[in-house]
Amino acid sequence: MHRRVVITAASAITPIGHGRQDILHSLTHGKSGVKPLRDDELLTRYIHSRVFGTVDYPVLYDFKRLYRKTMGPVAYYACQVAKEVMEMAGLDNDFVVSGRLGVAFGSTHGSPTVQRSIYKSFFSGDRSEYTAIGAVDYLKSMVHTTAVNITKMFGITGRVISSSTACTTSSQSIGYGYESVKFGLQDAMLCGGADEYDTTTVAVFDNLLACSTAFNDTPQLTPRPFDVNRDGLVVGEGAGAVMLEEYEFAKKRGAPIMAEVIGFACNNNGGDLILPNLNGIMQTIRLGLADASIPADAVDLISAHATATKMGDVIEAQAIHGVYGDRPHVTALKSYMGHTMASCGVIETILLIYMIAEGLIAPTLNLDEVDERCAMIRHVRNPIAERIRIAAVQNFAFGGVNTSLLIKKFE
Amino acid sequence: MTRTDIETEILRIFREGFEIDQPNPDDHLRDKHQFDSIDAIELLVAIEKYLGSELTQAEKKLAMEIRTLRQIFDYVEALAKKRQLFSEG
């Protein structure tokens, strides 16, 4: 059984805004969400990279204590975008609790903020530190905290998938949600990812010399995907959620359809856990196209993973050129907000959906001079008004995990 | 500490800690107020703080039978008596 899968609702909290209007405003005005790294009174004094993709506006939460009591910061993000998507989708409550709606939602490692407070007891002989570990600290901090706080909030009883594959977390959420609906295991899936403000992630990349450090005084000028002066990634925070539904089901209930998911692939490089791998990435892209049953030249726009590391961008440009040639437009959306880790795949998918709907392509920010090793693909350097029919979202993660999602304008 | 003190303190904990305002003493806490095992554990921590001493595992297990606010008042009163903190007022 192969069924069509459509997106009927989407919402994101990002460093460039919360919700469609804010995000589109930032995209069309070239506004960056990269800000100075805020102090955590712990690691920031040692970190060389002083920039962070920051959600610096208030998000108004209205969760009852019944729900709040098991939520850490990452679950607040997740539940907020899930709530907005649930309201937007307007699914009948009987369906929500029927077992035919599932959740695929993840984060990089649950809530580091809560984990840090637990770890304090490890380094203190004081009993008061031990008793300060809350009864619910595990529920707040565990890796699947986002997914199950969402199921609790809405009484969702279907399958739960909680990927935690760093930068491919939420592209896997969408991909596995798509497969669950496509193959008839569920009729709808609420999919996404979230990551809270966390400096341990910055420290890890900083120690690997993979973080941007040359633009600490001008945060909006980094990251610089594909640019000759790029000097590494910028970590960020945020969340995104989409509702996937089986097409006939969505049509029957009169749901507004935003786009269609037509293909997904995920593979592993089968070796090194850090280095980008040309063959692995090209294979993922090809598998995605095969799943969608479309030729490479059917793709009009690619959202590149493009974290702005020296090597990653070159390998990705080679992979794109190797499969697609120089026909599709390529944009690097992390240039607006840095790398939002577990949420980057879903946020980039949502931005693509908005751009497809508006008929515009936002350019890669800070791409002043294209690195000649990345110059063989068709970079978007200025806003373009163009009808996009099919777009691809590429993401690659530590651990050698690669994903490719194919999104089609709904017609 | 008197019965009135205990009732006032427990009601404060319910209001400020659990956002349950003016519950009826005989309400079934789970059915009426979604007060669950997580809340019960947090309440025990608050009771320990109030009494200024730790509860034994046996005392904590006794609390798992509690269903109403009135039973919580009785439970804390018994603990206070055991610790010679209680006065009839």
Q: Any CB–CB contact under 8 A between B31 and chain A? A: no
Q: What is the arithmetic mean of pLDDT over A174-179? A: 98
What is the reported pLDDT for A121?
79
Tracing tokens 């969400």 back to the chain, one arrives at: A33
**CATH code at A285?**
3.40.47.10
Is residue A5 within 8 A of residue A261, CB to CB? The reply is: yes
pLDDT-based confidence at residue A1 (cuts at 50, 70, 90): low
- When the pLDDT of each residue in chain A is averaged and rounded to a whole number, the result is 96
Q: What is the arithmetic mean of pLDDT over B49-59? A: 94
Residue A149: φ, ψ to 5°: -70, -30
Q: Is the pLDDT of residue A295 over 90?
A: yes
Residue A28 maps to a domain: yes
Number of structural domains chain A divides into: 1
Chain B residue numbers with beta carbons less than 8 Å from the beta carbon of A131 are 45
Distances in whole angstroms, Cα of residue A135 to Cα of each of A25, A222, B18, B36: 43, 41, 14, 12
Q: What is the arithmetic mean of pLDDT over B57-76? A: 95
Q: Is the pLDDT of residue A125 over 90?
A: no
Residue A411 maps to a domain: no
Cβ contact, residue pair B38, A70, below 8 Å: yes
* Kind of pairing between the strands at A5-14 and A17-18: antiparallel
Q: Any CB–CB contact under 8 A between B34 and chain A? A: yes
| A 66-125 → B contacts, CB under 8 A | 66, 69-70
Terminal C-alpha separation, chain A: 22
pLDDT-based confidence at residue A320 (cuts at 50, 70, 90): very high
CA distance A174 to A406: 11
Percent of chain A with pLDDT over 90: 93
How crowded is residue A111: how many other Cβ atoms within 10 Å of its Cβ? 28
CA distance A176 to A185: 11
Residue A50 maps to a domain: yes
- In one-letter notation, the amino acid at residue A317 is A
CA distance B38 to chain A (A): 6
How crowded is residue A23: how many other Cβ atoms within 10 Å of its Cβ? 25
Residue A282 maps to a domain: yes
Is residue A135 within 8 A of residue A95, CB to CB? The reply is: no
What range defines the domain where residue A256 resides?
Answer: 5-400
Residue A409 maps to a domain: no
Residue A171 maps to a domain: yes
Interval A230-282: pLDDT, tens: 999 999 999 999 999 999 999 999 999 999 999 999 999 999 999 999 999 99
CA distance A350 to A393: 10
Three-state DSSP class for A132? coil
Chain A residue numbers with beta carbons less than 8 Å from the beta carbon of B39 are 69
Please give the ipTM for the structure prediction: 0.78
Which residue of A66, A135, A139 is in closest CB contact with B42? A135
Taken in order of first residue, the domains within chain B and their CATH numbers are: 3-82 (1.10.1200.10)
A411 burial level (CB within 10 Å; 0-12, 13-18, 19+) = exposed
Is residue A34 within 8 A of residue A234, CB to CB? The reply is: yes
Tokens of A233: 């990634």
Residue A90 maps to a domain: yes
Q: Is the pLDDT of residue A108 over 90?
A: yes
Half-sphere exposure of A133 (CA within 13 A, CB side): 14
What is the reported pLDDT for A368?
98
Interval A18-68: pLDDT, tens: 999 999 999 999 999 999 999 988 899 999 999 999 999 999 999 999 999
Interval A389-401: pLDDT, tens: 999 999 999 999 9
Tracing tokens 């400020």 back to the chain, one arrives at: B16
What is the reported pLDDT for A126?
76
pLDDT-based confidence at residue A147 (cuts at 50, 70, 90): very high
Nearest CA in chain B to A68: B18
What is the reported pLDDT for B79?
97
Is residue A332 within 8 A of residue A394, CB to CB? The reply is: no
Cβ neighbours for B50, distance < 8 A, ≥ 6 positions apart = B9, B13, B76
Nearest CA in chain B to A127: B54
| A 124-143 → B contacts, CB under 8 A | 131, 134-136, 139
DSSP A276: -
Task: Report the residue of B14, B16, B19, B49 to disrupt the A interface, i.e. the one with the largest count of A CBs within 10 Å.
Answer: B19
Q: Any CB–CB contact under 8 A between A64 and chain B? A: yes
Is residue A270 within 8 A of residue A194, CB to CB? The reply is: no
- In one-letter notation, the amino acid at residue A381 is R
| A 179-238 → B contacts, CB under 8 A | none
Tokens of A52: 């962070």
